């Protein structure tokens, strides 16, 4: 019988608590011999990191575009999803591996992709300054009958610092164990990722959890927060509370069709951007503009932001969450073989004679934006079946009172940690 794999990437930005399951523990943590890239390998592939980051920007925006439903808020963590997929890619071969390489790294070797994500994990968990709290946790859950190879386990442990757990993935207790792990890694922001055990032929779960808490470099004064109408895409209005700044300098984003701003965090590297179509006779509506935008263009726009003095800058204070399965979206983006039981090649993952394929990619995301900053978390589970223009000199009034694109991004590389729409 073909064994399946599940990927669980989670993302959240808010505080939420749910009750846990009372089932007994079903998994035990195992030790593994890590298999990692050497310092020489990491240095060799370091030159490919910008190309992987560019591919991640393209992948992230396409993921958001294909996940979003017109008129509905969407939120995903491209970083969380990519980390779970990259772990899975290390068990693949043949055409399945080629598709992973194309989707995750624009055709670059898997070692280049591994090295780039290894570097990002180190950068975000060890090198961020200010008050930023960042946690990136990976785990591999293997079924005793899944026949998962030791060298694949070693790669997950060595390349992604993954915790290794073994247990019957079809047992009720796995629900409690997995949800508890995700809840702990996301500071209880994502208390539940699964509600029922997996199928009997589940071989492995590849899980990523991302937690991020940031403080604005320049905080909003709560006394300046005020109500204002927000106009949705369908023309209806809603009274929201807006964060306001007056006469302060922020990186200004603009081209022929859109404008926005970057709100830097106090770590000096990450920031939140907000971007919307311009209100001009020739500017497209939000749906058309977002559909035509690509990740490379978005990254270039963010990296080329110029300082501008805003006469008024207003951003809604909001909370947002999204959850769902991403199999169909990933199929549309080019991961076809991985989900096809007849075509999938995960021969480097395990020794099951009937092979393995991906069956589920479960994602959840939450977000909160307030006067002090943002708090975010992400988790992903994969189930394996065995040119900007200068702003006007006199300042700008920029009010996000209609549908806009936003995200938490790396201001040095353009890498999107979170992407969402508020509409």
Q: How many domains does the chain have?
A: 2
Question: pLDDT over 90 for what percent of the chain?
Answer: 78
Q: Which residue has the tokens 């064994």?
A: 3
Q: Is the pLDDT of residue 31 over 90?
A: no
Whether 412 has a pLDDT exceeding 80, the answer reads: yes
Q: What's the average model confidence in pLDDT over 207-221?
A: 95
Contact between 114 and 42 (Cβ < 8 Å):
no
Query: Tell me: the pLDDT tens digits for 12-24?
Result: 332 222 222 334 4
Cα–Cα separations (whole angstroms), residue 106 to 57, 212, 365: 11, 27, 26
Output the pLDDT for position 310.
Answer: 87
Model confidence at 189: pLDDT above 90: yes
pLDDT of residue 385: 67
**Cβ proximity of 153 and 140 under 8 Å:** yes
Q: What pLDDT was estimated at residue 324? A: 94
What is the reported pTM?
0.92
Beta strand 258-264 with 270-277 is antiparallel
Instruction: Give, for 380, the enclosing helix (H) or strand (E).
Output: strand 373-385
* Average pLDDT rounded to a whole number, residues 107-123: 95
Determine the average pLDDT of the residues in 36-61: 92
Q: Are residues 160 and 92 in the same domain?
A: yes
**pLDDT (0 to 100) of residue 388:** 39
Which is more confident, 375 or 395?
375
Asked if pLDDT for residue 185 goes beyond 80, the answer is yes
What's the pLDDT at 18?
23
> What is the average pLDDT across 152-167?
96
Q: Same structural domain for residues 50 and 163?
A: yes
Same domain, 109 and 154: yes
CB 159 within 8 A of CB 111: no
What's the burial of 247, exposed, middle or buried (CB within 10 Å: 0-12/13-18/19+)?
exposed
Measured CA to CA, the distance from residue 224 to residue 271 in angstroms comes to: 21
Residues 116 and 259 in one domain: no
Looking at the predicted structure, is the pLDDT value of residue 156 above 60?
A: yes
56's enclosing H/E stretch is: helix 49-67
Taking the C-alpha atoms of residue 128 and residue 270, their distance in angstroms, rounded to an integer, is: 9
Examine the pLDDT at 397 and tell me if it is beyond 80: yes
Average pLDDT over residues 391-401: 77
Residues 19 and 142 in one domain: yes
Rounded to whole angstroms, the Cα distance separating 395 from 409 reads 25
On whether both 82 and 53 belong to a single domain, the answer is yes
Residue 26: helix, strand or coil by DSSP? coil
Query: Quick one: tokens of 422?
Result: 């508020």
Residue with tokens 């805003």: 310
Among the ranges given (29-43, 125-139, 194-208, 250-264), the one the predictor scored with the smallest mean pLDDT: 29-43
Residue 169 or 9, more confident = 169
As a whole number, the mean pLDDT across the chain is 90
Is residue 123 pLDDT above 50, yes or no? yes
Could you tell me if 50 and 180 lie in one domain?
yes
Least confident window among 51-65, 271-285, 372-386, 394-408: 372-386
Are 186 and 255 contained in the same domain? no
Q: Which of 24-28, 66-70, 171-175, 191-195 has the lowest mean pLDDT?
A: 24-28
Mean pLDDT calculated for residue range 282-306: 92
CB 402 within 8 A of CB 422: no
* Cα–Cα distance, 331 to 212 (Å, whole number): 29
Tokens of 127: 């090198």
State residue 394's pLDDT score.
Answer: 63
Question: Does 131 score more than 60 pLDDT?
Answer: yes
What confidence score (pLDDT) does residue 10 get? 61
Residues 6 or more apart whose CB falls under 8 angstroms from that of 59 comprise 78, 82, 103, 104, 295, 333
At residue 247, does pLDDT exceed 60? yes
Of 1 and 314, the structure prediction assigns the larger pLDDT to 314
* % of residues, the chain, pLDDT over 70: 93
Q: Helix (H, G, I), strand (E, B), or coil: what is residue 109?
A: coil
- Average pLDDT of span 183-202: 93
Over 60: is that where the pLDDT of 232 sits?
yes
Question: What is the distance in angstroms between the CA of the first residue and the CA of the last residue of the chain?
Answer: 45
| Burial class of residue 144, CB neighbours in 10 A (0-12, 13-18, 19+) | exposed
| Residue-number span of the structural domain to which 279 is assigned | 222-316+394-422
Q: In this structure, what CATH number is given to the domain that contains residue 417?
A: 2.30.39.10
Across the range 254-261, mean pLDDT stands at 92
Tokens of 39: 């310092």
- Using CB atoms within 10 A of its CB, is residue 214 exposed (0-12), middle (13-18) or buried (19+)? buried
354, 398: one domain: no
Indicate whether 117 and 244 sit together in one domain: no
Q: Do 174 and 272 belong together in one domain? A: no
From its phi and psi, is residue 81 left (phi > 0), alpha (psi between -120 and 50) or beta?
A: alpha
Q: How confident is the model at residue 299 (pLDDT cuts 50, 70, 90)?
A: very high
Across the strands, what pairs with 310? Answer: 248, 396
Mean pLDDT of 57-82: 96
Confidence of residue 386 (pLDDT cuts 50, 70, 90): low
CATH number at residue 152: 3.30.497.10
Residues 53 and 79 in one domain: yes
- pLDDT value for 7: 74
Q: Closest by alpha carbon to 143, among 164, 157, 160?
A: 164
């Amino acid at each position: 019988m073909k064994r399946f794999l599940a990927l669980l990437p989670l993302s959240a930005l808010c505080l939420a608590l749910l009750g846990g399951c009372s089932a007994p523990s079903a998994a035990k943590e195992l030790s593994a011999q890590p298999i990692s890239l050497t310092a020489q390998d990491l240095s060799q592939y370091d030159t490919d990191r910008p190309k992987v980051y560019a591919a991640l920007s393209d992948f992230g925006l396409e993921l958001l575009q294909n996940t979003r439903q017109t008129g509905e808020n969407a939120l995903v963590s491209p970083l969380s999803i990519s980390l779970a997929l990259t772990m899975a890619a290390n068990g693949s071969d043949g055409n399945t591996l080629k598709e992973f390489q194309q989707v995750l790294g624009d055709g670059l070797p898997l070692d280049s992709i591994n090295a780039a994500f290894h570097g990002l994990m180190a950068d975000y968990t060890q090198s961020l300054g200010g008050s930023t709290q960042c946690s990136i946790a990976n785990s591999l859950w293997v079924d005793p009958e899944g026949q998962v190879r030791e060298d694949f386990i070693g790669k997950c442990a060595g390349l992604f610092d993954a915790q290794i757990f073994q247990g019957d993935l079809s047992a009720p207790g796995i629900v409690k164990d997995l949800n508890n792990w995700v809840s702990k890694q996301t500071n209880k922001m994502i208390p539940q990722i699964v509600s029922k055990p997996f199928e009997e032929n589940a071989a492995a779960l590849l899980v990523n959890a991302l937690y991020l808490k940031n403080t604005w470099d320049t905080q909003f004064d709560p006394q300046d927060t005020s109500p204002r109408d927000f106009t949705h895409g369908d023309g209806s209005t809603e009274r929201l509370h807006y964060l306001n700044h007056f006469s302060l300098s922020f990186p200004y984003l603009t081209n022929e069709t859109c404008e926005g701003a970057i709100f830097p965090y106090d770590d000096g590297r990450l920031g939140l951007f907000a971007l919307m179509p311009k209100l001009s006779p020739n500017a497209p509506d939000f749906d058309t503009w977002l559909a035509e935008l690509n990740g490379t263009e978005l990254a270039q726009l963010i990296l080329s932001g110029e300082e501008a003095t805003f006469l008024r800058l207003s951003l809604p204070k909001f909370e947002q969450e999204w959850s769902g399965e991403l199999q169909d979206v990933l199929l549309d983006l080019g991961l076809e073989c991985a989900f096809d039981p007849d075509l999938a090649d995960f021969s480097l993952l395990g020794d099951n004679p009937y092979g393995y394929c991906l069956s589920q990619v479960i994602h959840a995301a939450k977000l909160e934006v307030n006067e002090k900053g943002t708090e975010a978390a992400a988790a992903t589970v994969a189930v394996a079946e065995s040119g900007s223009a200068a702003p006007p000199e006199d300042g700008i009034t920029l009010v996000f009172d209609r549908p806009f694109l936003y995200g938490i991004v790396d201001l040095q590389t353009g890498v999107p940690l979170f992407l969402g729409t508020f509409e």
